[in-house]
Amino acid sequence: MRKKIVAGNWKMNNDLQASISLVNEIKSGLSSMELSSTEVMIAPTFVNLHAVTKLVEGTAITVAAQNMHFAEKGAYTGEISAKMLQSVGVNTVILGHSERRAYFHEDATMLAKKVEQALEHQMKVIFCLGEQLEDRKADQHFNVVEYQLKDALFQLNDADWQDIVLAYEPVWAIGTGETARPEQAQEMHAFIRNLIAEQYDEKLAEEVHILYGGSVKPTNAVEIFSQKDVDGGLIGGASLNATDFLAIVNAV
């Protein structure tokens, strides 16, 4: 049985003091929860990663980075490498988020290189994929997701998938208050899992974690997470509030 994952993506929010306060609230709330079948992750901004990794030492919380560069090192002003992340205790990275694709023009070629670099350093990758509203209205959502999956990840070998977590995020449901209906989330998650089974095999496909990301809230988390192929969530805005985030973790 796949372990559930709830990951909080804090995006460009929270200075150091706010990050410390939020981590401490989450730690306190998790201390009374049974987490044997759930992994909890948080992804602060780069400048707060070191402080947060120190705060969560000895807890069940994993710290992830929100992005990283595809090069080992070099003249890439403002960028962060895999080794830099690992030097502060971070071994998980979110790649391919829709905001990175839209605002920074990250395409499949670049993302494939980032995934390769992360895996070379034995890092776990949360790889995001999902369609825009116009894609869904044009009935192209399956084609878009298939392209994003195949062009960035289907060059991987079987063993690499042990370190890949997928996160389906319908872009039209991020920060809009809209949420894919549970059956829509299940439909796409099952589609993704079937693509992996066709490319590799059913055993591998059944082992891959596929998270849902798109306006998950305490009020809808139980229904979404109860779907057969939904293995947890990549949480945006609700992860910035400890009470909401803990309620979502508790909903798994």
Tokens standing for residue 183: 């059956």
What gap in Å lies between CA 139 and CA 57, rounded to an integer?
A: 46
User: What residue type is assigned to position 61 of the chain?
Assistant: I
Of the candidates 168, 180, 92, the one whose C-alpha atom is nearest the C-alpha of residue 129 is: 168
Please enumerate in sequence order all residues whose Cβ is within 8 A of that of 58, keeping only pairs 6 or more positions apart, or say none: none
| Catalytic, out of 69, 97, 141, 189 | 97
What gap in Å lies between CA 98 and CA 104, rounded to an integer?
A: 10
CB atoms within 10 A of CB 209: 17
Report helix, strand or coil for 41: strand
| Catalytic, out of 39, 99, 106, 169 | 169
Rg (CA), the chain: 17
In the DSSP assignment, the letter for residue 105 is -
Please enumerate in sequence order all residues whose Cβ is within 8 A of that of 117, keeping only pairs 6 or more positions apart, or say none: 68, 69, 70, 71, 72, 82
Q: Are 186 and 229 in contact (CB under 8 A)?
A: yes
Q: Are 8 and 239 in contact (CB under 8 A)?
A: yes
What gap in Å lies between CA 200 and CA 41, rounded to an integer?
A: 28
Catalytic residue list contains 97: yes
Catalytic residue list contains 169: yes
Positions annotated as catalytic residues are 97, 169
